[in-house]
Amino acid sequence: MVPKLRIAVVGGGIGGLAAALALTRKGHEVRVYEQAPVLREAGVGMHLGPNGSRLLERWGLGERLRALGVRPAGMEVRDWSHGGTLVRQPMGEEWLAEFGAPYYTIHRADLHTMLAESLPGGTVRAGRRLERFTETEGGVRLEFADGSTAGADVLIGADGAHSVVRRTLAGPDTAVFSGQSAFRGVVARDQVPGLPGDTLLVWAGPDARMLVYPVRGGRFLTFVAVVPDPRWRLESWSAPGDLDDLAARFDGWNTDVKSLVAAVRESRRWALYDREPLARWSEGAVTLLGDAAHPMLPHHGQGVSQAVEDAAVLAHCLDAPTGTGPAAPSAPATRRAIAAALDAYEGVRRPHTTQVQLGSRGGGSQRLRPDEDGAESTGTMSSLVEDVSWIQRHDAEAHLPPLPPLPATT
């Protein structure tokens, strides 16, 4: 039997771990190199659309998703000033029937831990910050900041929007600033008893937007407050958000929002950037995945689900047995087969993620602003779900390319 591939994944975030799990399930030898000294995920809650959850369920994670995630019963758009419900969209079982898989809200750390614990022991190597890589006759050589090195048949850059792998492949790029930033945090629901623990809530004001949704069984609520501010340009998930500034942004809003803001004890603030879509993700035996390939604004809630889709398609395309052991094809044939597999992966994923990435730019708070006469535009608000239904319905494994033919063994 021809051995499977040695695959290096740079980046131990959710995208990198999803790739490692998908590839491990195909029998490859996978190593994940994470620059942090300890593998852990920061952040708050996140959305996992049906397009992402259907793949994780196929990977055997359905039971854990049901235990750790929340399936919101509905989504409500509420008036920013008096707090009344303008639009309610049932979710739960209706979305399951509509999209064929559940919609979850889940804490990032819970999903990250779930993926990490699903990998074989020793898969993740922490404290390894990639400095450079080179492609050689024998594969790809990785060099880390601590002086260590590693070799692989394939290198996957899953190292985020500031990706070293992306910069090496595509050169430096310019971050595109949206003019907005987001305050993010988690509040215990018993601190805001007036808010439900099973509903995704949106308040859209004239110059800000507040999104709140449950995590960890509804015991906590994640909030994301999107505000315009051309001066705040720090693209960091860990930068502290000033609580006085947050309170001032929502002064004059309804009682529920002000009670939520008053209950916040810690917040992070993140300037919202993306990048222009790349014309190319792959070169030789190196490719990109997740935010390294297609960093996008968060307004469609698709960052994680798109990375999971990437992982599923990449694992399929690398499933042709093109390893490098004694019975394997010649090294040139193997390299050609790997390059063809990565081209196939990119050919499927890049057009789709480009559409999602560019569409996310139109999904910000400006879409939910009041009409010119001051009345809330309920027609625009009710289109919030329909705008992204094609993304939620997408099944990445229903659009897989045929595997390339096996290379000659001589």
- Catalytic (active-site) positions: 213
DSSP 361: T
Instruction: Report the alpha-carbon distance of residue 115 to residue 109 in Å, rounded.
Output: 10
Pairing of strands 154-157, 268-274: unpaired
- Taking the C-alpha atoms of residue 194 and residue 263, their distance in angstroms, rounded to an integer, is 12
One-letter amino acid for residue 260 of the chain: L
* Beta-strand relationship, 199-204 and 74-79: parallel
- Evaluate whether 18 touches 275 at the Cβ level (below 8 Å): no
Dihedral sign for Cα atoms in the order 391, 274, 39, 12: positive
Q: What is the DSSP string of 133-200?
A: EEEETTEEEEEETTS-EEEESEEEE---TT-HHHHHHH-----EEEEEEEEEEEEEGGGSTTS-SSEE
3-state SS of 223-252 is EEEEEECCCCCCCCCCCECCHHHHHHHCCC
